[in-house]
């Protein structure tokens, strides 16, 4: 967050600011020494320089981990060097820490880890860990890795909202460089936040995990002393280190502790199976409007699914594209839907889990029916509404049945007319795709069906996206309707 709150000027009606009160921190787990009774790992034999590469994002404690390991080695009178590389972005950018530990100081000839010579990767961030510069340091025959499974978004998502997060590809690169059996992937961020109440303790938990696996050639006594000498959040850091040890020794115990503290899941994982994708959207549209509206969706999807199975048996990419896009268009976020989402119990439950004290909600909205326009840009101007809006939302949510009827006062706005028109146009388009589908044009049919997913934003932002959508649709439809003749092979 850049702290200037300019984001609230965005046209999405989901922006809410909270004034007063304070953030509620999860209560740290009561165990003073969670690793009590856990046997220490065998002492790591140190016959030659041992090299540890710690990777992560600036501002999250990566440099601290390198400093703690090097101080522990120093306390044991071993040779040690540490080199921190923070690049231009010291906070939020890629950071690496090169740590060398040797029996004697003279055994260390360089502070930077050479290519193919690293023994351990403590990967606090998956993307930085999977970079070429990081993986080039390792030899698949000797290296080990402890990787935080939490994916942190990169700048690519700012430049390209359609960019997929390369979780599997990144993991594959790491395993290829270090070895399948030598990689440990742990949900460090989630565990640290749940058990300790603060994600900043993630890296200490990872250090404890690596230590218990016998991958850090210093003693527990020296590491705990280094934490004390660091002088920052000593008790919390020691506990996080201990929980890392527990995770390495008894992962089932940690899993049960986390589940007990988190309670039932509030966010369902995204559906990947085609039947589950359709089922979840039917349920959402039923809540959004009614069962009849949901049936309109399911019927259209079922028709294209049958047609796709006839033309390209075994494939479901067109059905999935139609399901996702038709749902997106049908579930447009109008005034009734905004009210419904705000009045769902889970919204206030989330606020109450996050905040404590005397606080007020402020909603930043630009309802087309009431908002004024900026005289310079012509765009709607957002206005801040107080907590009394919750009463208005409660009343408005009950009138969702008026949506699309002559009694829908919001439905006469240009934005709402456009949104309903997009749904009808896409339904006609899906019928055309199904009627003219062949094995040869299946790929382009999928591309056409996926296009509505690019329609994002609200107000003038959405208007621009719709214009771009229609222009791209026109080109793709021309190719679908008039495919280029295939060149015949020469006799």
pLDDT in tens, 142-167: 889 999 988 876 666 667 777 667 77
Q: Binning pLDDT at 50, 70 and 90, where does residue 489 land?
A: very low
How much is the pLDDT for 87? 61
Same domain, 452 and 476: yes
pLDDT of 140 above 60: yes
- Residue environment code for 299-321, b if the CB has 16+ CB neighbours within 10 A, otherwise e: ebbeebbebbeebbeeebbbbbb
Same domain, 324 and 364: no
H or E element: which one contains 384?
strand 383-385
Strands 94-102 and 50-57: antiparallel
Helix axes 345-354, 335-343, angle to 10 degrees: 50
Beta bridge partners of 360: 19
Does residue 488 fall inside a structural domain?
no
Same domain, 14 and 162: no
Between 166 and 322, residue with greater pLDDT: 322
Query: Final residue of a domain: which of 262, 288, 303?
Result: 262
Does residue 489 fall inside a structural domain?
no
Same domain, 365 and 429: no
pLDDT of 54 above 70: yes
CA distance 469 to 463: 10
Does residue 367 fall inside a structural domain?
yes
Same domain, 151 and 230: yes
pLDDT of 269 above 80: no
CA distance 82 to 284: 53
Same domain, 218 and 138: yes
CA distance 327 to 196: 39
Same domain, 314 and 440: yes
Structure tokens at 25: 């921190």
Which domain, by its residues, includes 368? 6-22+335-402
Strands 79-85 and 94-102: antiparallel
Structure tokens at 403: 């949506």
pLDDT of 491 above 50: no
Same domain, 124 and 225: yes
The model's pTM is 0.71
Same domain, 220 and 247: yes
Query: Final residue of a domain: which of 402, 425, 454?
Result: 402
Contact assessment for residue 251 and residue 271, using Cβ atoms and an 8 Å cutoff: no
Handedness of CA 370, 375, 381, 383 (dihedral sign): negative
How much is the pLDDT for 31? 64
pLDDT of 240 above 90: yes
How much is the pLDDT for 486? 60
Does residue 269 fall inside a structural domain?
no
Strands 120-123 and 183-186: unpaired
At residue 57, the 3 state secondary structure works out as: strand
How much is the pLDDT for 124? 92
Does residue 267 fall inside a structural domain?
no
Same domain, 173 and 95: yes
């Amino acid at each position: 967050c850049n702290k200037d709150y300019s984001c609230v000027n965005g046209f999405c009606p989901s922006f809410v600011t909270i004034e007063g009160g304070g953030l509620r921190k999860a209560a740290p787990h009561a165990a003073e020494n969670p690793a009590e009774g856990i046997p220490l790992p065998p002492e790591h034999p140190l016959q030659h320089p041992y090299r540890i590469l710690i990777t992560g994002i600036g501002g999250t404690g990566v440099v601290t981990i390198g400093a703690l390991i090097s101080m522990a080695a120093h306390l044991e009178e071993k040779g040690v060097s540490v080199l921190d590389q923070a690049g231009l972005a010291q906070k939020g950018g890629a950071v690496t820490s090169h740590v060398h530990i040797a029996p004697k100081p003279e055994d260390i000839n360089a502070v930077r880890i050479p290519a193919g010579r690293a023994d351990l990767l403590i990967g606090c961030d998956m993307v930085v860990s999977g970079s070429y510069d990081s993986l080039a340091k390792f030899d698949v025959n000797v290296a080990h890795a402890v990787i935080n499974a939490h994916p942190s978004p990169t700048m690519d998502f700012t430049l390209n909202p359609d960019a997929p997060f390369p979780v599997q590809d990144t993991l594959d690169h790491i395993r290829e460089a270090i070895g399948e059996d030598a990689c440990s992937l742990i949900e460090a961020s989630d565990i640290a936040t749940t058990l300790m109440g603060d994600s900043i303790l993630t890296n200490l938990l990872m250090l404890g995990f690596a230590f218990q696996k016998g991958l850090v050639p210093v003693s527990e006594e020296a590491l705990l002393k280094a934490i004390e000498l660091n002088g920052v959040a000593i008790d919390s850091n020691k506990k996080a280190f201990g929980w890392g040890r527990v995770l390495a020794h008894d992962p089932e115990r940690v899993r049960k502790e986390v589940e007990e503290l988190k309670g039932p899941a509030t966010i369902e994982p995204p559906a990947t199976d085609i039947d589950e994708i359709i089922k979840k959207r039917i349920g959402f549209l039923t809540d959004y409007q009614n069962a009849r509206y949901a049936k309109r969706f399911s019927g259209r999807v079922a028709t294209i699914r049958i047609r796709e199975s006839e033309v390209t048996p075994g494939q479901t990419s067109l059905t999935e594209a139609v399901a996702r896009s038709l749902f997106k268009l049908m579930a447009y976020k109008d005034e009734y839907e905004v009210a419904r989402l705000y009045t769902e119990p889970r919204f206030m439950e989330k606020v109450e889990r996050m905040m404590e004290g005397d606080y007020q909600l402020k909603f930043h909205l630009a309802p087309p029916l009431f908002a004024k326009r900026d005289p310079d840009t012509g765009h709607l101007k957002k206005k801040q509404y107080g907590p009394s809006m919750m009463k208005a939302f409660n009343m408005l949510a009950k009138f969702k049945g008026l949506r699309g009827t002559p009694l829908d006062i919001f439905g006469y706005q240009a934005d709402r007319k456009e949104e309903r028109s997009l749904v009808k146009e896409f339904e006609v388009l899906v019928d055309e795709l199904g009627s003219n589908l062949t094995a040869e044009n299946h790929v382009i049919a999928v591309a056409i069906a996926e296009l509505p997913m690019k329609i994002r934003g609200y107000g003038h932002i959405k208007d621009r996206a719709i214009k771009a959508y229609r222009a791209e649709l026109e080109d793709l439809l021309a190719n679908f309707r008039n495919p280029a003749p295939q060149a015949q092979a020469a006799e």
